[in-house]
Amino acid sequence: MIKRNLLMMALFIAVSACSSTIESYKQTLRIALVPAADVEVSLADLRERTVPLLYLRPNDRGRAALALVAATEGVAQWISADNRIVELTHGRISKLQGFKPHLDFIQFSTPDPLSLPVAKIHAGLTSRSIQDWSSSHLNSYVIEHEVIAKSPTTLTFFEQQFAMVLVQERVTFPDGSSFNNQFWFDAHSGQLVQSIQKPSHFSAQFELIEISKISQQIQVTPTAGPQA
């Protein structure tokens, strides 16, 4: 509880430091807990804002937008208007606060494939992670990871096509069930921009889109598209 309070205090200070910017997002920064219309932020609006946004969709519910409050060494913390926190480490969900269940942390005993440059990720790459879930009193929850496919593809944002590299990862949970996580990397920058991932067999699956990264790519490469 003390640890969580300290984290919330740190996040409050971070958000307060740029409160005038964060306040402009209050109408869109909301976790959708019931089916609702998706949040849509225009390209022009994204270019005007100084705070990056993340689209988040839990299961089949409405898509919400979260604001970045802290980022360092591959770890990014995103927050909603109602103080729900999603932490991503190299683009993988590593902490969920304000959700049920509540993910405290994830630790890899071997390097997370997502920590590697996309050029070095290949089918057959395996790893193992351990998670702690405080709300379900489940500690040392072990997950096996295996990259099962890697292929070129495209995604469309703001009516423009982008060349992507799709990495598919099978995660096997302690109950024997499995799920195929999907990660889309921009083929030009190598950045992870979209994913569908399920942290555990009892949690929701999440679709995440780092929409601000996409807007930056449009600015740099306005005619970005698949390579012949």
Strand partners, 103: 96, 133
Alpha carbon distance 88, 98 (integer Å): 15
- Predicted confidence at residue 29, as pLDDT, reads 52
Asked if residue 80 is part of any domain, the answer here is yes
Rounded to 5°, the CA angle 41-152-129 comes to: 80
Mean local confidence (pLDDT), 166-179 = 96
Asked if residue 167 is part of any domain, the answer here is yes
Asked if residue 81 is part of any domain, the answer here is yes
Which residues, 6+ apart, have CB-to-CB distance to 13 below 8 Å? none
Q: Residue 61 belongs to what domain range?
A: 2-220
Asked if residue 180 is part of any domain, the answer here is yes
Whichever domain contains 189, its CATH number is: 2.40.360.10
Asked if residue 66 is part of any domain, the answer here is yes
- pLDDT digit string, tens, across residues 72-131: 989 999 998 888 899 999 999 999 998 888 899 999 999 999 999 999 999 999 999 999
- Predicted confidence at residue 205, as pLDDT, reads 94
Q: How many domains, the chain?
A: 1
- pLDDT digit string, tens, across residues 35-53: 456 888 888 888 888 889 9
Asked if residue 32 is part of any domain, the answer here is yes
- Predicted confidence at residue 99, as pLDDT, reads 85
Give 213 or 60, the one with higher predicted confidence.
213
